[in-house]
Structure 1
Amino acid sequence: MKRVLIVEDDISVAKLLEIHLIDLNYSITTIYQGDTGLKLALSEEFDLIILDINLPRMSGIEVCKHIRLIKQTPIIMLTAKTEELDKVLSLELGADDYITKPFSVREFIARVKAVTRRFHKTYPEQSVRIKKLEFKDLSIFIDKRKVILKGKEVNLSPKEFKLLVLMASNPGQVYSREKLLEIVWGYDFDGYKHTVNSHINRLRIKLEENMIKPKFVLTSWGVGYKFNDELKIPSYESKARSTV
């Protein structure tokens, strides 16, 4: 059974979320303080985290930031209508989606399903759970959200990291800009294909020695982008399948 962590200080809202997540056959853990929620999120494995922004003892934004330093667990933020800046900041820090209070049960369920589906497209489950992708000069530590290039760590934004992991997990597969928008940003993202182009360019700046002749992230002209499948993968570390 998949596990969900709810970090929400409003007991009535938390109970409402619990009821509908149980109907989706999730196992629920509910925490009412930010610092306690962070400790549990880092020490245990969850398939989804529902995280309110306004929490006692540590804000949801701080919790999200600390989780993203270590884990890629899907996060849905709960925000108030007036917290537009917090919504933007949450997404920049790596939240996968946000829901504005008050929200309908139908909207909540739809977003939970969309986020979890999108996560498993980006980090597909296999008979073994890949922890590390190894290429020439490049190592990608998925669980630790760390990228090492020629022995030095590369600092990637959450979206840049998701793009890299998605394409590097399926080298040679061409992804259209529309498909990358759908998987990495979400089906309801109000953006344009140039969003993908700008993120790919920033990713290349951080990874490639020669932007004119990139080695890792290649362009399929008129179609989209792919990770170079000619780079030999000597090994990868794995562990038995477990909940994400």
Structure 2
Amino acid sequence: MLKKPKVLIVEDEHDIANIIKDYLSVNQFDSHIVNTAHEAIHYLQETMPDFIILDLSLPDGDGIELCRKIRENSNVAILILSARSSDTDKVLGLGFGADDYMAKPFSLSELVARIHAHLRKQDRWLQHNVNPLEVIYIDNMEINKNEYTFLRDNKTISLSAKEFELLFFLAKNRNQVFSKSKLLDAVWGYDTYGDENTITVYIRRLREKIEIDPSNPIYLQTVWGVGYKFSTPNHT
């Protein structure tokens, strides 16, 4: 019998949390509800789920700060589900390591579709990691897919799972231009429900981590009206 994916629901509105839990149960997920940031941290110290659904407005703290704390210790996929639908909240959530963002009210079927998409993508990457070691070296950078590590000048720079996957995909296909929709499909595993602003946020975060001057990027180039590419102008 296949193991059911484990989903942690961090939501203080009990009715919404129970509706999500019931719907996930019908769709063969094993879900657990916590109502506060403190409960979430305690749960994660004992159990690591396959996916986290995180509300931003919690009674004992801000969900964005909780997202940041989770990301310090885990690459588990995180989807923010919040009534705060402003671009600022979305940028902050994605910037602190969330993989996806949905605004309330929301479609339960869409929520499940996004969870499946993230888990499929995660499975594909794990399967790829049984292949021989694959490492990309560019200038003073090392991008190691098997270990999900990024080094610059032999120093490890912390990246979230999705930041790494986006960087690896662009670096592996360097000097090729990809639209936002193509990057969503390649890295997130879906494009039907994707918000292309997600790519903008992740490119900005990556530039802050890999570029010497993020405002004048050398590697992560914008091709206006088309998309982005990882540029290596001095390499063949």
Task: Compute the RMSD of aligned alpha carbons.
Answer: 4.3
8 A contact 2:134–2:146 mirrored in 1: no
Structure 2 segments unaligned to the other structure (5+ residues): 221-227
1:75 aligns to what SS in structure 2?
Answer: strand
Residue identity matched to 1:55: L
Residue identity matched to 2:43: L
**Count of matched residue pairs:** 216
Describe the shift of the 1:54–1:81 C-alpha distance in structure 2 as closer, same or farther (beyond 3 A). closer
Residue of structure 1 equivalent to 2:225 = none
8 A contact 1:138–1:148 mirrored in 2: yes
1:38 to 21, 41, 62: 41
Residue of structure 2 equivalent to 1:239 = none
- Asked whether 1:53 is paired with 2:56, we answer yes
Between stretches 111-120 and 25-34, larger displacement belongs to 111-120
- Asked whether 1:64 is paired with 2:70, we answer no
Higher relative contact order, structure no. (Cα contacts within 8 Å, ≥ 6 residues apart): 1
Residue of structure 2 equivalent to 1:112 = 115
Residue of structure 1 equivalent to 2:90 = 87
Residue identity matched to 2:195: F
Describe the shift of the 1:46–1:194 C-alpha distance in structure 2 as closer, same or farther (beyond 3 A). closer
8 A contact 1:70–1:145 mirrored in 2: no
- Asked whether 1:73 is paired with 2:79, we answer no
Residue of structure 1 equivalent to 2:11 = 8
> What TM-score, normalized to structure 2?
0.67
1:180 to 183, 201, 213: 183
Q: Distance in 2 between matches of 1:110 and 1:41?
A: 24
Deviation at 1:21, TM superposition (A): 0.9
- Asked whether 1:205 is paired with 2:206, we answer no
Describe the shift of the 1:179–1:64 C-alpha distance in structure 2 as closer, same or farther (beyond 3 A). same
8 A contact 2:10–2:34 mirrored in 1: yes
Q: Distance in 2 between matches of 1:39 and 1:144?
A: 27
Structure 1 segments unaligned to the other structure (5+ residues): 218-223, 229-244
Residue identity matched to 1:18: K
Q: Distance in 2 between matches of 1:109 and 1:166?
A: 25
Q: Distance in 2 between matches of 1:101 and 1:163?
A: 27
Residues 159-238 of structure 1 aligned to structure 2 (within 5 Å): 160-166=163-169, 176-177=178-179, 178-184=181-187, 187=191, 188-191=194-197, 205=211
> What TM-score, normalized to structure 1?
0.65
1:69 aligns to what SS in structure 2?
Answer: helix
Deviation at 1:104, TM superposition (A): 2.6
Deviation at 1:4, TM superposition (A): 0.7
Deviation at 1:12, TM superposition (A): 1.0
Deviation at 1:176, TM superposition (A): 4.4
Describe the shift of the 1:45–1:88 C-alpha distance in structure 2 as closer, same or farther (beyond 3 A). same
Describe the shift of the 1:204–1:71 C-alpha distance in structure 2 as closer, same or farther (beyond 3 A). same
Deviation at 1:17, TM superposition (A): 0.8
Q: Distance in 1 between matches of 2:90 and 2:13?
A: 19
After superposition, what is the alpha-carbon deviation per residue over 1:177-222, rounded to whole angstroms, capped at 9, x for unaligned? 453232336522235998898777667636xxxx98x8xx9xxxxx
